[in-house]
C-alpha cells in the first residue's frame, strides 16, 4: 500500500497591473462573501458543510457574483474556519468555559480580512509549466473573467515537482507584502521508513540552545541570541510608543521575525534529519506539546520562551524525517536535564547551572543540554522497542 504525503509548493505570480487589479477584486469579493456567510452561519447556528451549502449557496452566488465552483470554495473555507475554532475552544485555547475571552470568541462570528488567501481547485485554476525552466503560466478564474497566461516563477526543484504530477490539488492564492503567491498542495509517496539500525539521535529542545543533539552539536550561538534580544528590545520600545506608525512597524517586524525563525528552524531540522539519515539512526525528541506549560522560568526568560516557534521546529523535523524515511519518536522529557545518562542517578543538584552538569554519584561532568539529549537518545531506543513489540511494553496498573 502506497501512503501519500501532502506537500505544499510555493510559486510566485507575476501579473500585469490589469491582472493584479482583477486578482485583488477577486480576493475582496471572496472574503466579503465569506464574512457574510460566517454571520449567517453564526446567527442560524448552521455549521455543517452540506447544510450550509443547501441553505446559502444560491444567495451567496447572487449576492456577490461568484461562479459555481468559487462559491463552493468559499463555503468550504468558512466551514473549515469554524471547525478549527471549535477545536481550539474544546482544547481550551481561549480560556476555560465562562471566561470573558472565551465568551467573546463564542459570541463573535468569524471575520475574514479583505485580502486573505482564497483556495482554488482544478476547475478554477489550471497550470501550464512546459518541459523545463524556471517558470510557466497559469489560468485562473476572477470576478472579471478568466485570466490566461499569468506568468509564474519559482524554485526549479519545486517546479519540477509540479511538472511530475498529472494533477495538482487545492491551490491557495495569497497577496502578501505586495507579492502574489500560489501555494499548491500535491501528493508525494511517503518514503518507506528504515529501521534505526544504529540507534537514535537524541534532540533536546531548550531556551539558550534551541536544539542540542546527543552527538554534542548545539544549534544556537551568539548571533542567534543577539538577534532575538535585539528584536525584543526594539519591540518593547515600539509597544511603549502606542502610535499608529509604531503599531504599523510592529506588524511589519512581526512578519520579519517570523520569517527569520522559520528559516532557522528549517536549517536546524534539515541538518538533524540529514545526520540521522547519513548514520542510519532514528530521531528521538521530547514531546513537543505543552512545552510552555511544562517549563518554569524566571520572568526575564519568559519572553524568550514565547518568542520561539518550538511547535514549528517539531513539525519541520516530523515532515522532513517522513520524507527521508527516518524514524522519529517522541519521548517523555521529564527529568532528562537532572538525570545522569551514565549511571541513571536523578537529582536536581546534578544540574549546577544552565550549562553545567555534574553527577553527584558517579562524578560525570558535561554540558547539561548534551546530557539531556543523551537521555532522550536512550528513551528513544526504549520507545522504539515498545512500538515494535507492543506486547513487551509496560502495563499500567489500574488506579
Report pLDDT for 296.
58
Instruction: For residues 27-55, give the mean pLDDT.
Output: 95
Residues 114 and 175 in one domain: no
The answer to whether residues 54 and 86 touch, using CB atoms and an 8 Å cutoff, is: no
Kindly give, in sequence order, each residue whose CB lies less than 8 Å from that of residue 315, ignoring residues fewer than 6 positions away. none
Residues 127 and 172 in one domain: yes
Residue 180: pLDDT band with limits 50, 70, 90: very high
Q: For 300-333, how does the pLDDT look when each residue is reduced to its tens digit (9 = 90+)?
A: 555 555 556 777 888 899 889 988 899 999 998 8
Residues 289 and 302 in one domain: yes
**Residue 195 included in any domain:** no
**Residue 194 included in any domain:** no
Residues 63 and 113 in one domain: yes
Residue 173, pLDDT above cutoff 90:
yes
Residues 154 and 209 in one domain: no
Residue 387, pLDDT above cutoff 70:
no
Residue 213: pLDDT band with limits 50, 70, 90: very high
Report pLDDT for 48.
93
CATH code of the domain in which 383 resides: 3.30.420
Q: How far apart are CA 190 and CA 385, in angstroms?
A: 23
Residues 93 and 209 in one domain: no
Residue 274, pLDDT above cutoff 90:
yes
**Residue 179 included in any domain:** yes
Last residue of a domain, one of 164, 189, 214: 189
**Residue 254 included in any domain:** no
Residues 288 and 309 in one domain: yes
Among candidate residues 177, 181, 145, the one with its CA nearest the CA of residue 18: 145
Residue 291: pLDDT band with limits 50, 70, 90: low
C-alpha cell at 358: 555534574
Q: How many CA atoms lie within 13 A of 360 on its CB side?
A: 10
Cβ neighbour number for residue 399 with a 10 Å cutoff: 3
**Would strands 200-205 and 282-286 be described as parallel, antiparallel, or unpaired?**
parallel
Q: How many CA atoms lie within 13 A of 341 on its CB side?
A: 21
Cβ neighbour number for residue 244 with a 10 Å cutoff: 8
Q: How far apart are CA 49 and CA 79, in angstroms?
A: 6
Could you give the number of structural domains in the chain?
3
Last residue of a domain, one of 92, 118, 144: 118
- Check residues 177 and 267 and name the one with the higher pLDDT: 267
pLDDT above 70 as % of the chain? 88
**Residue 275 included in any domain:** yes
Computed over every residue of the chain, the mean pLDDT equals: 85
**Residue 292 included in any domain:** yes
Report pLDDT for 312.
84
Q: Is the dihedral of CA 171, 175, 177, 178 positive or negative?
A: positive
Residues 172 and 269 in one domain: no
Q: For 350-365, how does the pLDDT look when each residue is reduced to its tens digit (9 = 90+)?
A: 988 888 999 998 989 9
Last residue of a domain, one of 189, 208, 235: 189
Residues 171 and 78 in one domain: no
pLDDT above 90 as % of the chain? 50
CA 33 to chain centre: 27
Q: For 127-169, how does the pLDDT look when each residue is reduced to its tens digit (9 = 90+)?
A: 988 776 667 899 999 999 999 999 999 888 888 888 887 778 7
Residues 11 and 30 in one domain: no
For 354, the domain range is 200-222+264-392
Residue 394: pLDDT band with limits 50, 70, 90: very low
**Residue 130 included in any domain:** yes
Q: How far apart are CA 287 and CA 373, in angstroms?
A: 13
Backbone angles phi, psi at 331, to 5 degrees: -125, 165
Residue 22, pLDDT above cutoff 70:
yes
Q: How far apart are CA 207 and CA 303, in angstroms?
A: 10
Kindly give, in sequence order, each residue whose CB lies less than 8 Å from that of residue 116, ignoring residues fewer than 6 positions away. 27, 31, 34
C-alpha cell at 231: 528584536
CA 114 to chain centre: 23
Residues 78 and 161 in one domain: no
**Residue 253 included in any domain:** no
Residues 73 and 129 in one domain: no
Cβ neighbour number for residue 333 with a 10 Å cutoff: 20
Residue 257, pLDDT above cutoff 70:
yes
Amino acid at each position: 500500500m502506497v501512503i501519500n504525503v501532502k506537500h505544499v509548493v510555493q510559486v510566485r505570480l507575476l501579473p500585469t497591473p490589469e491582472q493584479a487589479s482583477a486578482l485583488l477584486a477577486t480576493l475582496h469579493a471572496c472574503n466579503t462573501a465569506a464574512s457574510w456567510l460566517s454571520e449567517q452561519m453564526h446567527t442560524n447556528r448552521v455549521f455543517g458543510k452540506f447544510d450550509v451549502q443547501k441553505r446559502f449557496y444560491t444567495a451567496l452566488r447572487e449576492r456577490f457574483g461568484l461562479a459555481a465552483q468559487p462559491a463552493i470554495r468559499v463555503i468550504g473555507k468558512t466551514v473549515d474556519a469554524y471547525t478549527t475554532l471549535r477545536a481550539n475552544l474544546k482544547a481550551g485555547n481561549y480560556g476555560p468555559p465562562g471566561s470573558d475571552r472565551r465568551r467573546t470568541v463564542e459570541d463573535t462570528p468569524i471575520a475574514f480580512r479583505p485580502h486573505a488567501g482564497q483556495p482554488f481547485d482544478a476547475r478554477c485554476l489550471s497550470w501550464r509549466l512546459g518541459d523545463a525552466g524556471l517558470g510557466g503560466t497559469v489560468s485562473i478564474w476572477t470576478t472579471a473573467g478568466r485570466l490566461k497566461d499569468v506568468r509564474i516563477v519559482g524554485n526549479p526543484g519545486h517546479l519540477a515537482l509540479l511538472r511530475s504530477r498529472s494533477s495538482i490539488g487545492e491551490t491557495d492564492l495569497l497577496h502578501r507584502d505586495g507579492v502574489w503567491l500560489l501555494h499548491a498542495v500535491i501528493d508525494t509517496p511517503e518514503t518507506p521508513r528504515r529501521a534505526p539500525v544504529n540507534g537514535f539521535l537524541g534532540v533536546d529542545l531548550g531556551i539558550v540552545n534551541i536544539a542540542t543533539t546527543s552527538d554534542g552539536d548545539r544549534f544556537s550561538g551568539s548571533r542567534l541570541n543577539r538577534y532575538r534580544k535585539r528584536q525584543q528590545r526594539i519591540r518593547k520600545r515600539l509597544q511603549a510608543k502606542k502610535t499608529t506608525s509604531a503599531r504599523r512597524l510592529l506588524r511589519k517586524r512581526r512578519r520579519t521575525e517570523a520569517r527569520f525563525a522559520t528559516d532557522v528552524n528549517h536549517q536546524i531540522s534539515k541538518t538533524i534529519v540529514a545526520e540521522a539519515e547519513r548514520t542510519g539512526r532514528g530521531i528521538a525528541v521530547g514531546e513537543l506539546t505543552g512545552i510552555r506549560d511544562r517549563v518554569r522560568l524566571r520572568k526575564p526568560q519568559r519572553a524568550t520562551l514565547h518568542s520561539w516557534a518550538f511547535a514549528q521546529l517539531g513539525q519541520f523535523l516530523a515532515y522532513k524525517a517522513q520524507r527521508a524515511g527516518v524514524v522519529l519518536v517522541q519521548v517523555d522529557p521529564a527529568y532528562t536535564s537532572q538525570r545522569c545518562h551514565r549511571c541513571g542517578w536523578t537529582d536536581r543538584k546534578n544540574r549546577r547551572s544552565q550549562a553545567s552538569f555534574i553527577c553527584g554519584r558517579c562524578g560525570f561532568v558535561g554540558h547539561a543540554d548534551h546530557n539531556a539529549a543523551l537521555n532522550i537518545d536512550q528513551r528513544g531506543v526504549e520507545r522504539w522497542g515498545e512500538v515494535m513489540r507492543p506486547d513487551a511494553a509496560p502495563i499500567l496498573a489500574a488506579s
